[in-house]
Amino acid sequence: MLVPADMLAAQSKMLYQINKYYGERVQTRMTTIAKTIREVCKVVQDVLKEVEVQEPRFISSLTECNGRYEGLEVISPVEFEVVLYLNQMGVFNFVDDGTLPGCAVLKLSDGRKRSMSLWVEFITASGYLSARKIRSRFQTLVAQACDKCSYRDSVKMIADTTEVKLRIRERYIVQITPAFKCSGVWPRSGAHWPLPHIPWPHPNLVAEVKTEGFDLLSKECVAVQGKQSAMEGDAWVLSFLEAENRLLQGGCRRRCLSILKTLRDRHLDLPGNPVTSYHLKTLLLYECEKHPRESEWDESCIADRINGIYLQLISCLQCRRCPHYFLPNLDLFKGKSPSALENAAKQVWRLTREMLTNTRCLEKL
């Protein structure tokens, strides 16, 4: 296919700008975050060591491997989540019947096994392992650990939430979330994935992702709030962090996400937090389906992919609905105010227009 020379020139100009932006803004953000992570993880590891002394069932799984911390997710440059993996889920069955979008429950496989469970006092009368009860116990232990640990002057528990959240050095927030790893199983609510008529991801990658499985987190779930069901507090939130990261390997997908996150921190950090890094990651996964060929994820296509994701984001903000990638019945905008979403749509449109009409826009973004 013949491409007009001026179009090629514009494309190479844009690619130059993107590489420059990545080298300056994106890498600076990544270096700063890596430094912050090392700082906060020292404190969190110290707190968790104290927790373990009091209660050996909560064993710290926060370990460093090749400069990365297992189970740590960056929510924003000042907010992080650490997943604490618990042992021995064995005697429970995973029940995911769709009544609570994005959630599932763990039910004793056999009533007689109650006393065999490591978590016996957190099992409800009807045989469910209660996420809320485990979290409540963990919260008490963390509060005590904060007072005893060697960083006690710089770490505080955040009150007025059932989540376990620490404020470190008055600057950073770290949420510690108890969780179970579910490997080798796949939730029924995600059974439609992958869509049969779409060539991405490749069947081998799908098999890898499904073997990797997902996590069950003990945290508040927006989808559940307001539903006065008995199961509400016992439910665990489904998380596909590893699966998502596995899918985003290859081509310039990760690079694309890093650029989107940097632009988000600089221009879309808005009142009511309508656009998070997770929304961008979700839309990037949908963009991978729309552009299934590896050649479409070459670095020369980055600008097109970013614009595609922004156009998807505008559409989601205007419809006030952003479906989770693996669980489309779960709306990631649930609980966000309509005015915050409307304001965000205008901001994203401004950003997109700039990206589409000005090859030098990244110099000032």
- pLDDT tens by residue, the chain, 365 residues: 555 666 677 788 899 999 999 999 999 999 999 999 999 999 999 999 999 999 999 999 898 888 889 889 999 999 999 999 998 767 788 899 888 889 999 999 887 878 888 899 999 999 999 999 999 999 999 999 999 999 999 999 999 899 999 999 999 999 999 999 998 889 999 999 999 999 999 999 999 999 999 999 999 877 666 555 656 689 999 999 999 999 999 999 999 999 999 999 999 999 999 999 999 999 999 999 999 999 999 999 999 999 999 999 999 999 999 999 999 999 999 999 999 999 999 999 999 999 999 989 999 99
Is the Cβ–Cβ distance between 327 and 190 less than 8 Å? yes
What pLDDT does 230 receive? 58
What pLDDT does 70 receive? 85
Q: Give me the residues paired with residue 165 across strands.
A: 175
Task: Mark residue 226 as left, alpha or beta (left: phi above 0; alpha: psi -120 to 50; beta: remaining).
Answer: left
What pLDDT does 111 receive? 78
Which class for 245: exposed (0-12), middle (13-18), buried (19 or more C-beta within 10 A)? middle
Closest to 58 measured CA to CA, from 69, 49, 68 = 49
- Please state, in angstroms and rounded to a whole number, the distance separating the CA atoms of residues 216 and 162: 17
Task: Supply the pTM of this predicted model.
Answer: 0.94
Return the number of other C-beta atoms located less than 10 Å from residue 269's C-beta: 12
- Please state, in angstroms and rounded to a whole number, the distance separating the CA atoms of residues 112 and 134: 21
Using DSSP bridges, classify how beta strands 172-182 and 79-85 pair: parallel, antiparallel or unpaired: parallel
Structure tokens at 40: 């906060």
What pLDDT does 97 receive? 82
**Phi then psi for 64, rounded to 5 degrees?**
-95, 135
- One-letter amino acid at 110 equals D
- Please state, in angstroms and rounded to a whole number, the distance separating the CA atoms of residues 171 and 156: 11
Is the Cβ–Cβ distance between 219 and 163 less than 8 Å? yes
Q: Say which residue the tokens 């600076």 belong to.
A: 28
Three-class DSSP labels, the chain: CCCCHHHHHHHHHHHHHHHHHHHHHHHHHHHHHHHHHHHHHHHHHHHHHHHHHHCCCCCCCCCEECCEECCEEEEECCEEEEEEECCCCCCEEEECCCCCCCEEEEEECCHHHHHHCCCHHHECCCCEECHHHHHHHHHHHHHHHHHHCCCCCCEEECCCCCCCEEEECCCEEEEEEEEEEECCCCCHHHCCCCCCCCCCCCHHHHHHHHHHCEEEECCCCCCCCCCCCCCCCCCEEEECHHHHHHHCCCCCHHHHHHHHHHHHHHHCCCCCCCCCHHHHHHHHHHHHHHCCCHHHHCHHHHHHHHHHHHHHHHHHHHHCCCECCCCCCCECCCCCCHHHHHHHHHHHHHHHHHHHHCCCHHHCC
